[in-house]
Amino acid sequence: MNCNESEILLHALIDGELDAGHAREVETHVAGCPGCGEKLAAFRTMHDVMTAAPLKEAAPAHLRNRIEALMATPPSRVVSIRQFMQPTRRSFFGGFAMGSVLSAAVAASVVLTVVRKDQEQTIADEVVSAHIRSLQAGHLMDVETSDRHTVKPWFNGRVDVAPPVVDLTAESFTLLGGRLDYIDSEPVAAIVYQRRKHLINLFVAQHLGTRRTRTMATAIQGYNCRHWSQDGLDLWAVSDLVGDELDEFVQKIASALRQPSRAS
């Protein structure tokens, strides 16, 4: 996160509009940047003062009476006061339709997240729940093999995507097998890997949350979670591996996906 992004997003932070991941990003940036830290403190104070002040105005009694009288009259008999206007649909909306230069830069990466945070958050929660469920005895694998040529065909007809199954043994991520899981009421492919004692579930589906070109990192209930989109697929990796190692896993999968010969 840089200062330009932070300048916009710190307001969303103050207004409680950021999801946990972005809130942390802003807080991290602000903690290390005196300029943005000073702005956040000042704008937060201003917001607090405005919230505490009785700024909302009370409609005068005679206006309230007018409105109530209006409601007691059949609408057909009420006419507009003055020429309060049939709108001429002039350039107002043209003017408003123009976003500002500033927003365009930030909006591309952030706004979708803000808007869709609820859905994204729900799916992240479900993905982690599915991961935790899979750790219970007997729930981990439907097809148990380290042979990717067995795992991949097994998904045929069970999910509507051909999930990438990659052999990463050389990188010390061992393929354990695959499983059919359900997230957001849709069947998804879950491919299970292991590094040392840590299990990794890689969930793959056509649509699973907001499309992301850059990997989104979150941590839920102590599990690290990575979501990215590639080749028309949404991929989620969940594990109790430390973040750096899970990032390494994501990179291996992503680069294998870019070289079709490795993902069969």
Give the residue among 33, 45, 44, 46 at the shortest CA–CA distance from 5.
33
Angstrom CA distances, 147 to 152, 175, 211, stand at 9, 8, 30
> Out of 61, 71, 137, 170, which residue is the one contacting another protein (CB under 8 A)?
71
> Out of 20, 31, 102, 242, which residue is the one contacting another protein (CB under 8 A)?
102
Per CB under 8 A, the segment of 109-117, 140-148, 208-216, 229-237 that binds another protein is: 109-117
Is the Cβ–Cβ distance between 240 and 247 less than 8 Å? no
CA 48/CA 86 separation, integer angstroms: 40
For residue 98, how far is the Cα from the chain centroid? 26
Per CB under 8 A, the segment of 97-105, 136-144, 160-168, 230-238 that binds another protein is: 97-105
Per CB under 8 A, the segment of 34-42, 119-127, 174-182, 241-249 that binds another protein is: 34-42
Amino acid (one-letter) located at 160: D
To the nearest whole angstrom, how small is the minimum distance from the Cβ of residue 121 to another protein? 15
Phi, psi of 186 (to 5 degrees): -115, 145
Per CB under 8 A, the segment of 83-91, 140-148, 210-218, 224-232 that binds another protein is: 83-91
Is the Cβ–Cβ distance between 201 and 237 less than 8 Å? yes
Q: How many CB atoms lie within 10 A of CB 87?
A: 8
Contact status: 61 vs another protein (CB under 8 A): no
Amino acid (one-letter) located at 35: G
To the nearest whole angstrom, how small is the minimum distance from the Cβ of residue 21 to another protein? 17
Is the Cβ–Cβ distance between 178 and 146 less than 8 Å? no
> Out of 2, 91, 136, 213, which residue is the one contacting another protein (CB under 8 A)?
91
Contact status: 222 vs another protein (CB under 8 A): no
DSSP code for 99:
P
Angstrom CA distances, 179 to 140, 163, 182, stand at 7, 11, 10
> Out of 28, 31, 32, 59, which residue is the one contacting another protein (CB under 8 A)?
59
To the nearest whole angstrom, how small is the minimum distance from the Cβ of residue 57 to another protein? 5
> Out of 2, 61, 85, 197, which residue is the one contacting another protein (CB under 8 A)?
85
Contact status: 78 vs another protein (CB under 8 A): yes
Which residues are near another protein by CB under 8 A?
A: 3, 7-9, 11-12, 15, 17, 35, 38, 41-43, 45-47, 49-51, 53-60, 63-64, 66-68, 70-72, 74-75, 78, 80-88, 90-104, 106-107, 110-111, 114-115
